């Protein structure tokens, strides 16, 4: 079943991709370093003030490293053992029942497609390093 998502232009939401996206996010981030950052009390002085960093560089590095490792594992399973991937996604979705569906906007997809040459150039620069 697909639902209409309202953005600048309506697109059909792919429910399977929505489930996979939410499951990948919960499996990549939940119960990892982000929980350590989230577990403390809000700073009464700077809470909600975007002028101040609320995560150290080292915390951000740990969060992103774990997410990359988990997403890599999930994508590997998807490509090399798809029957297991469906079970993993279903298990991950047990933690996302109250989450919103992704905002599926034409502007994001079009923007990335238009910026293809930028991404290709960036990819070339990275490979040369």
Residue 56 has pLDDT above 60, yes or no: yes
How far apart, in Å, are the Cα atoms of 126 and each of 27, 30, 48, 66, 121?
Answer: 28, 30, 35, 21, 9
Name the residue among 81, 96, 82, 124 with its Cα closest to residue 27: 96
Lowest mean pLDDT among 6-10, 53-57, 58-62, 66-70: 6-10
Could you tell me if 92 and 24 are in contact, meaning their C-beta atoms sit under 8 angstroms apart?
yes
How far apart, in Å, are the Cα atoms of 1 and each of 29, 61, 95, 117?
Answer: 27, 38, 21, 35
pLDDT digits (tens, 9 = 90+) for 6-51: 445 566 878 888 889 898 988 888 878 888 877 777 788 887 777 8
Domain count for the chain, please give it.
1
Considering the chain, what percentage of its residues have pLDDT values greater than 70? 90
Could you tell me if 93 and 23 are in contact, meaning their C-beta atoms sit under 8 angstroms apart?
yes
Domain residues for 64? 4-128
Average pLDDT of the chain to the nearest whole number: 82
Q: What percentage of the chain's residues is helix, strand, coil (to nearest 5)? A: 60, 5, 35
Lowest mean pLDDT among 16-20, 104-108, 115-119: 104-108
Residue 73 vs residue 9, higher pLDDT: 73
Q: Is the pTM of this model over 0.85?
A: no
Name the residue among 27, 18, 21 with its Cα closest to residue 66: 27
């Amino acid at each position: 079943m697909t639902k209409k998502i309202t953005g600048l232009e309506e697109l059909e939401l792919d429910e399977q991709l929505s489930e996979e996206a939410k499951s990948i996010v919960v499996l990549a981030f939940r119960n990892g370093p982000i929980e350590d950052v989230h577990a403390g009390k809000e700073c009464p002085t700077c809470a909600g003030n975007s002028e101040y960093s609320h995560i150290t560089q080292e915390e951000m590095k740990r969060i992103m490293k774990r997410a990359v490792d988990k997403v890599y594992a999930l994508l590997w399973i998807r490509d090399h053992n798809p029957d297991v991937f469906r079970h993993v996604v279903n298990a991950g979705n047990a933690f996302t029942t109250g989450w919103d569906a992704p905002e599926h906007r034409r502007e994001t997809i079009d923007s990335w497609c238009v910026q293809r040459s930028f991404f290709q150039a960036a990819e070339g620069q990275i490979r040369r390093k």
